[in-house]
Every structure is written in structure tokens, then in C-alpha cells.
A = this chain, B = another copy of it.
């Protein structure tokens, strides 16, 4: 059985990460995602040292898609895209506000061609406010959403960025869900609509439930960073760092047993959740001092056996070989020309409509001929369009 979104066609004009990862999720679930590229292609194609190979980051943002590379500044290029729009369910773009209209592909024109299309606009900041026209880089969103402050160095007060582009990745998931919800509404009621997602909004919505409780009651706000001074749950052992934490009574008892600290089980300082919270500094000190005496491969199995949430802090390099990663099958290997490419399979597993990696990311314009053929262009016409530099890339 094909994927859950089989039969859906998406025209994807986005580049870089947030948009492409969103449409990749949709593609993983069976949609026909056509990546519409400029003659020079998505900038991410150039993040490589090996000219005959697609860069790893591009491969991980664009699998299961087809590529059509055409010059949208030419009359004929625009005409081809408009023919495709007539066949599509979703149109996605992440240009800065105003740009898509200048290209002649504003919502009104697109909807004039296909009345029930889902028109998706991804932006950094929405179309209002002082930053509306600014290009959105991940650190800017981290700075404005409070995330950089959350990570601040507690000694110096200097904010720190999370070293992963979480604003892009979070936006990607938010967009993928929104597109899917709009597809459901269209399937049920026939309605096409405009869906707008701003990265800054996505990041604030993502962080809010846990990071901003003290801002929730209007008029009673207090600075959420006050009182956030505890160490994180990273402990040194003799040979490596691990994490371990005991929330419930049973977990605390398990931790005491695992560490041969049974005398602490009945200790009134730690007997209840409230007492453990009140005496957390002392508790962390005792646990840390004890863990430093153990080797990780001795203590981790004991913690696991006693039902204490715990794990080694793995480097990314190590996770490839970790038994839990192996057992989950999250990492797959796919043949790619003369080498193999490792990809995470789609995280959500559907037992009747499996999501899967069917094809790796396309070369620029790899599907020009196939897609134009589907639109009714003859081989001669396609060759002519390539000669006239309307079509671009390897196969055109």
C-alpha cells in the first residue's frame, strides 16, 4: 500500500532547510513533491567539496522529491509552471514578503489557475512588524524567541545559541503538519486556502508550554529565568559522561540501590518528591560524588536494571553503533551511485500506509523530461526548451 499522502501533488519553490524538510516529510508519506528550482538550483546544492556528488545536507532535506529546474523569468518557464499548478494540490514558497507577487505567482494568480489549491507561505516574521522584510537566519529567531537567553551562561550571563538550527527544524515540522491539515480540510470540504507560517511564531509556540509558565497569567508575570540555576542532569563517571534522573519515589529508591546508597532510601531529606526538590543541591552532590567512582559500563546497566531513567551521553559518532539505535532501525542505508547514503527513516511509522525513503535527493533538473512529458510536451519541444535555456540541469 502506498504512503498516507499518496496521490497528492506538491509544488515546492522553497530552498535551504525549513521549507524543504517540511515537503520532504510530505514526500516520505507518499506525495509527489516537485522541487521547482532556479537555473542555478537550491543554494544547498553548493555546500559540498565533491562536484560529482550531492552534499550530505542536501540529501537529507530533499529525498523522495523530483527536480524541475526552469527559468521562471522567461515567459515559457512561467507558462510551464502554470500548467503544473493546474495539476497540483499544494504550492509552497518561502520568499521574502512581496517577492512571489513580483514573480507573477501571487495567490490570486495561482488560485485563478487552480481554485482549490493550498497556497503556503513560510516567512521569518510574518508580514507585519519591524523585522517583516529581514532575512531570517536561525540565530535571529533563537535570539528573538528567548531560546538564546534560556541557554545563557549562568556565571557570565552571556546568552548562547543552541548549536543546531532548531528554528528551521521546528518550522519544518509545523509547516508539514499545517499542510497535512489543509489537505484533510480540502479532501473533506473541497476548500483550498492560504496557510501562513512564520518561523518566529513556530518557535514561540514550540517553547511556550514548558519555558514560559511564569508569563502565562496576565498581570502576574515574573522573569522566567529567575530561579533557573540548577545544574543539568549530566554526571561524570570514571570514563565518560552520563545522564541519570530520579523523579518518582520508586526511581529514587532504584537509584540508591544501583549506587549502593541504600542508607539514603529512608533519609528524610530525600523521602518524598517535595523533600527531594527542596534538597536537590545536596542530592545532586551526593549522586555526583558517587557516580565519579564508577565506570559507565558498570553503573549504567545497574541503573537500567533498577528502572532509573539514564543513558550515556553519546556523541553523534557513537550513536551509529549504539544498541538502542540499532534496535530501533531509525538509521537506514540506501544505495547511491557507487556509494551508500545513511538516512533516518521517517520517525512516524504507519503500519498500513508506510512512509519510506523511495528515492534519494534528485540532481538538478533530473526530472525535467519526465514532468514535461506528463504535461504533454513532446521530446522535441523539451529539447527545444533546453536549448533555449528555459530548462536547466543534468537531464534536460
Contacts and interface: CB of A to CB of B under 8 A. Distances in A.
Interface of A: 1, 4-5, 7, 17, 21, 25, 29, 55-57, 59-61, 125-126, 128-132, 134-137, 139-140, 142-151, 158-166, 168-170, 173-178, 180-185, 187-188, 191-198, 200-202, 204-225, 228, 232-234, 236, 241-243, 245, 247, 251, 304, 307, 309-317, 319-320, 322-331, 333, 339-353
Given A173-B173, A200-B330, A57 B209 contact: yes
A29 B181 contact: yes
Contact of A193 (B197, B215, B350): B350
Contact residues of A: prevailing secondary structure: mixed
25 contacts: A60-B212, A126-B327, A126-B328, A135-B309, A139-B233, A139-B309, A140-B245, A140-B309, A143-B313, A144-B325, A146-B319, A162-B162, A163-B228, A173-B174, A177-B180, A180-B180, A181-B348, A185-B353, A195-B348, A201-B344, A204-B319, A205-B330, A218-B341, A218-B342, A221-B317
A208 B344 contact: yes
B217 A339 contact: yes
A160 B242 CA distance: 11
Copies in the complex: 2
A-B pairs, 9 with minimum CB distance: A129-B327, A178-B348, A56-B213, A56-B216, A193-B352, A173-B173, A218-B340, A146-B316, A4-B185
Which residue, A304, A316, A326, has most C-beta atoms of chain B within 10 A?
Answer: A316
Nearest to A145: B319
